[in-house]
């Protein structure tokens, strides 16, 4: 197809007419496309000759919406992009805003961020394993994975108040300190996961049918990963230990002891095994945060022109400020009350300039680029979602393979269409 012609889904791109070739639309409502992803597959028999991705069905205008909100309110939007890893969206955005502000958050805030991100990494990987297993017929793997994910979401709800889209990480720190009893709840979660994760090895890793379905399928060697900009488990399955937590540390990750698992087979089975190994490493990091959480400290920067609402004290009904907090604000001074009102309604000012921060989310490098003109609202916010970049590898993974292997290849990429389309 010439470059200046519009995309025609029915055009095979080949001048050769053949009665043996058919075009199949897989999606955008197919259960194995991980959301509203549309695949246009050209087939010869059951062999995929050409594969194309059509995206955009889940576009929600998140990046544009942030331009009409304050810097703090932007967290509520970006957390809903990749809805399986909200803590990472929040962290990347807040780190970029803090870089533009030129501020550093307190150590305890960094520890809480690391804890929430690793908990989110576990829950996201569990969805990848569960949905991938379901699509390939391993229904027991699906029920087990979602059982463990419920444990992760219950803990997230206890720590932040919400299971997903928490908006708990804020510019300058986190919304508020963790509730009493958090250390005990986190410890219990780690014990449960330590007991249950080995079940996946018994259930799937050594299972002959599972291995036959995954080994040698969706192979993308290191050269292909580098050319396509692939990151995350897909890249590490090809043998390159590239993990931003190690190569470009943030939030104090350089002070934690953990490994970056790698394999060299570069197929679907390698990506499955890597996600299992990464959950073990995330539990290792969570154990290290427990000791650091025993040290009290502030969870928001001391600058009162930025620090909102770290001092928020939730009322007895779980909503709004407590009466004690309201009395404190009202009793200080009229100037303090006016300042609090302006900070909440108008937000803080970010100096003119731009900043980019990349972090390692469950799918690879999640980047956030923010641009400020010196106002209380972003001029531009853009997310570099790894699912969007990794998805372009689908033709390389599937062309020449059987149509049944397309399902395994998509599952191994683990795209989340909310993050792809934004």
Quick: pLDDT tens for 378-390.
999 999 999 999 9
- Three-class SS state of 351: coil
Among 42-56, 193-207, 262-276, which stretch is predicted with the lowest mean pLDDT? 193-207
- How does pLDDT run across 3-40, given as a tens digit for each residue? 555 556 555 555 545 568 899 998 787 777 777 899 99
pLDDT at position 333 over 70:
no
Confidence grade of residue 262 (pLDDT, cut at 50, 70, 90): very high
Confidence at residue 283, expressed as pLDDT on a 0 to 100 scale:
96
- 133 located within any domain: yes
Nearest CA-CA partner of 421 in 96, 33, 117, 6: 33
Is the alpha carbon torsion for 314, 320, 326, 329 positive or negative? positive
Checking if the pLDDT of 300 tops 60, the result is yes
Is the residue at 236 inside a domain? yes
Q: What is the pLDDT at residue 277?
A: 93
267-296 pLDDT, tens digit each: 999 999 999 999 999 999 999 999 999 999
Asked whether the beta carbons of 214 and 269 are under 8 A apart, the reply is yes
Does the N-terminal peptide bond of residue 309 adopt cis geometry, omega within 30 degrees of 0?
yes
Predicted local confidence at residue 133, as pLDDT: 86
**What per-residue confidence (pLDDT) applies to 19?**
62
What count of Cα atoms within 13 Å lies in the side-chain half-sphere of residue 74? 33
State the pLDDT at residue 257: 95
pLDDT band at 194 (very low <50, low <70, confident <90, very high): very high
Residue 404: domain span: 62-308+347-421
pLDDT band at 310 (very low <50, low <70, confident <90, very high): very low
Q: Decide if 260 is inside a domain.
A: yes
Residue 15 inside a domain? The answer is no
User: What's the length of the chain?
Assistant: 422
Q: What angle do CA 84, 87, 89 make, to 5 degrees?
A: 80
CB crowding 178-215: b at 16 or more within 10 Å, else e: beeebeeebeebbeebeeebeebeebbeebeebeebbe
| Number of structural domains the chain divides into | 1
Q: Which residues contact 331 (CB under 8 A, 6 or more apart)?
A: none
Within a domain: 246: yes
Write out the DSSP string of 33-75. Answer: SSSS-EEEEEEETTEEEEEEEE--TT---HHHHGGGS-TTTHH
Integer distance in angstroms from the first to the last C-alpha of the chain? 28
What does the pLDDT read at residue 71? 92
Is 83 among the domain residues? Answer: yes
Region 187-195: mean pLDDT is 94
* Residues 213-230, mean pLDDT to the nearest whole number: 91
Average pLDDT of span 77-86 = 92
Percent of the chain predicted with pLDDT > 70: 91
328 lies in some domain: no
Helices (H), 66-138: 74-78, 86-101, 107-135
Q: Is residue 98 scored above 50 in pLDDT?
A: yes
Q: What is the pLDDT of residue 7?
A: 57
Q: What are the pLDDT digits (tens) for 126-180?
A: 999 998 888 888 888 889 999 999 999 999 999 998 999 998 999 999 988 898 8
CATH of residue 73: 1.10.645.10
Whether 204 maps to a domain, the answer reads yes
Cis status of the peptide bond prior to 28, with omega within 30 of 0: yes
* pLDDT for 101 beyond 80: yes
């Amino acid at each position: 197809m010439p470059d200046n012609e519009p995309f025609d889904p029915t055009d095979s791109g080949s001048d050769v007419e053949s009665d043996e070739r058919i075009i199949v639309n897989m999606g955008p409502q197919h259960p194995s496309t991980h959301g509203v992803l549309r695949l246009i597959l050209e087939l010869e028999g059951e062999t995929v000759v050409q594969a194309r991705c059509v995206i955009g069905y889940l576009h929600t205008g998140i990046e544009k919406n942030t331009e009409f909100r304050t810097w703090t309110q932007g967290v509520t939007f970006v957390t809903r992009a990749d809805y399986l890893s909200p803590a990472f969206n929040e962290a990347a955005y807040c780190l970029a805003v803090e870089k533009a502000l030129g501020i550093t958050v307190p150590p305890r805030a960094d520890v809480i961020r690391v804890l929430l991100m690793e908990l989110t990494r576990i829950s996201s990987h569990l969805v990848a394993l569960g949905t991938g297993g379901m699509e390939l017929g391993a229904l027991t793997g699906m029920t087990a994975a979602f059982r463990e994910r419920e444990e992760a979401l219950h803990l997230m709800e206890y720590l932040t108040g919400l299971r997903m889209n928490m908006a708990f990480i804020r510019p300058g720190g986190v919304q508020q300190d963790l509730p009493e009893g958090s250390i005990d709840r986190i410890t219990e979660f780690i014990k449960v996961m330590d007991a249950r994760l080995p079940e996946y090895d018994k259930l799937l890793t050594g299972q002959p049918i599972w291995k036959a379905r995954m080994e040698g399928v969706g192979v993308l060697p290191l050269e292909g990963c580098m050319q396509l900009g692939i990151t995350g488990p897909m890249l590490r399955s090809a043998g390159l230990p590239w993990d931003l937590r190690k190569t470009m540390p943030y939030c104090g990750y350089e002070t934690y002891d953990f490994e970056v698992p790698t394999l060299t087979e570069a197929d679907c089975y390698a990506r499955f095994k890597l996600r299992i190994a990464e959950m073990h490493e995330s539990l290792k990091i969570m154990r290290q945060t427990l000791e650091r959480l025993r040290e009290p400290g502030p969870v928001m920067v001391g600058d009162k022109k930025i620090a909102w609402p770290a001092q928020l004290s939730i009322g007895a009904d779980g909503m709004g400020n407590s009466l004690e907090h309201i009395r404190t604000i009202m009793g200080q001074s009229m100037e303090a009350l006016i300042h609090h009102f302006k900070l909440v309604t108008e937000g803080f000012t970010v100096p003119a300039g731009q900043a980019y921060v990349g972090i390692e989310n469950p799918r690879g490098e999640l980047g956030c680029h923010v641009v400020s003109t010196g106002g209380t609202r972003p001029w531009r916010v853009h997310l570099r979602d790894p699912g969007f970049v990794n998805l372009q590898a689908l033709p390389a993974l599937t062309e020449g393979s059987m149509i049944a292997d397309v399902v395994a290849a998509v599952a191994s990429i683990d795209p989340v269409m909310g993050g792809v389309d934004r």
